[in-house]
Amino acid sequence: MTKTALVTGASRGIGRAVAQRLARDGALVAVHYATEADAADEVVKGIEADGGQAFALRSQFGAPGYVDDLFDALESGLKARTGTAELHILVNNAGIKSVQEPEDVTAEQLDELFEVNSKAPFLIIQRALGLLPDGARIINISSGITRFGNPQEIGYAMSKGAVEQLSLHFAKHLGPRGITINSVVPGVTDNGTEPVFRNPEIRAHLSEMAALKRVGETTDIADIVGFLAGADARWITGALINASGGALLD
C-alpha cells in the first residue's frame, strides 16, 4: 500500500526538502504552496524524475475558506491517484516570519502570524482527523527562536511556541489510536532563500553557534522528519526534537 503525505509550505526551503525525502521513502506527496506555483511544480517534477509520486495543491492560509480549499484539493488529488482520501503523514511546515522591534508590532501583524503559524496547523490537524488512519504520523515544524531571546522576533516566537503546544496536547488525545505527533525545532538553517547565508563571514559566525560548527541544511531537518514519519519512531510522541546541531548549549 502506498503511503500518502501532505507537506504544507513545500515549494521551497525545509518543506521542499521534506517533500523530497518522503517521496524517496515511497510516499505519494501532496506539495502545498500558497503563491509560488512554478516552484511547487518544479518540486513535483523533480520528485517524479526521481521515480516518486507527487502533486501540487494551492491554499493561501488566512484567506477566506483556506482550509476547505486545501482539503478539497487534497482529497480529490488523493482519490484520483489511490482511490481513497486516506492520509498517513501530515507535516505542518508552512509559516511566515516577522522581524521588527516589539514596540512596532501591530495587532494586525500578530493576527497574521498566529493565523498562518498557529491557527492553520490546528485547523489542518482537526480537519485531517477523519482522514488519518490509526498509526498515522503528524510532524509540526517549530523554530529554535522559542529557545532563546530575540526581541525582534517576539511575535514569530509566540506563534511557534503555540505550535509546540499542539504536539503536546494532541499527543495525549491521539495516543489511543496509535497516532504520533511531534515537533521538530530547527536552529539556524540555510533554506536557500536568504542572502545572509551567502556571506562567508556571517555564515562562519552562525556556524560557531552550533556544537557541530556548521549551519544547518534543509536536508538535515528533512531526514529527522523522515525518521519521525516512519515505523521506527512509533514510540515517540508529544516530543520536541532539537534539530539545531547543538546550538546555544549551556
Task: Write the CB contacts of 238 (distance below 8 Å, at least 6 apart in sequence).
Answer: 167, 168, 171, 172, 181, 182
Identify how many contiguous H helices and E strands the chain contains and give both numbers: 8, 9
H-run or E-run covering 206? helix 200-207
User: Starting from the edge strand earliest in sequence, which strands make up the sheet with 137-141, in order?
Assistant: 53-58, 28-33, 4-7, 89-92, 137-141, 180-186, 240-243
Q: Strand, helix or coil at 126?
A: helix
- What is the Rg, in whole angstroms, of the alpha carbon atoms belonging to the chain? 17
Does the active-site annotation cover 66? no
Distance from the first to the final alpha carbon of the chain: 45
Neighbour-count burial of 181, counting CB atoms closer than 10 A to its CB (0-12 exposed, 13-18 middle, 19+ buried): buried
Residue listed under C-alpha cell 524524475: 49
> Exactly one of 61, 71, 156, 170 is catalytic; which is it?
156
- Give catalytic residue positions: 156
